Amino acid sequence: MNKKIKILLLEDDTILAQTMVQILEQEDYDVTLVNDGEEVMEYTYENRYDLYLFDINVPLLNGKEALKLLRDAQDNTPTFFITALRDTNSILDGFDSGCDDYIKKPFDLDELLARIKAVLKRRNPVLQYGDITFDLLENRVLKQNEEVALGNVEKEIFSLLIKNINMTVNKTTFFDYMNKPSDSALRVLISKLKKVLDLNITNTKGIGYKLEKL
């Protein structure tokens, strides 16, 4: 089963919000709905998301203010503003706040879905390591073009290794992605990856693991 893409939706229009959640969940996205900008800050502090969909005119912190705070905190999650604002200055101001795209109300849901897929594809490239391909958007690992059966935690571990080739990843970083983190559990995960994918992973005792450069 592929890992679900997590979306944080900021929308205070109840009917529109419910419609969007329903449509997005039908596309197998994992959607969290919040009603104001302060809730955005609370949820993003505790969770990682793959995409933000922010209405601008919402209570407390508006969408632009919330995104500016996130960008100032080095959160580069792709973000769409959903808004009825149409003047050029408002749109330019939104891009200055750090958004990736605008969706103007009223909008076509098929267009929204197409834009979401496009921006996620750009932000989630396919990684290559020898004869191994890791499609980060689809969360699929292939070896010699054949999909390899790996659990989500194993894929997270491999993702950390392949993104940090020839660098030692601290074991505590791996622990963040494990349900019951321990040195022994991590060793089991690493051993499976080495066996199934035929990887050259080295261990720096007491520190972490490194995927060797080909």
Segment 43-52, tens digit of pLDDT: 998 888 989 9
DSSP state at residue 205 = T
State the pLDDT at residue 87. Answer: 52
DSSP string over 120-176: HHHHSPEEEETTEEEETTTTEEEETTEE----HHHHHHHHHHHHTTTSPEEHHHHHT
What pLDDT score does 1 carry? 34
- pLDDT greater than 80 at residue 173: yes
| pLDDT tens readout for residues 83-134 | 876 555 555 565 666 787 788 877 788 888 888 888 887 766 788 898 999 8
pLDDT for position 172: 92
What 146-152 contacts at long range (C-beta under 8 Å, 24+ apart), as own/partner pairs, is 148/196, 148/197, 149/196, 150/192, 150/193, 150/196, 152/1, 152/3
**pLDDT band per the 50, 70, 90 thresholds, residue 161:** very high
Specify the pLDDT at position 74: 87
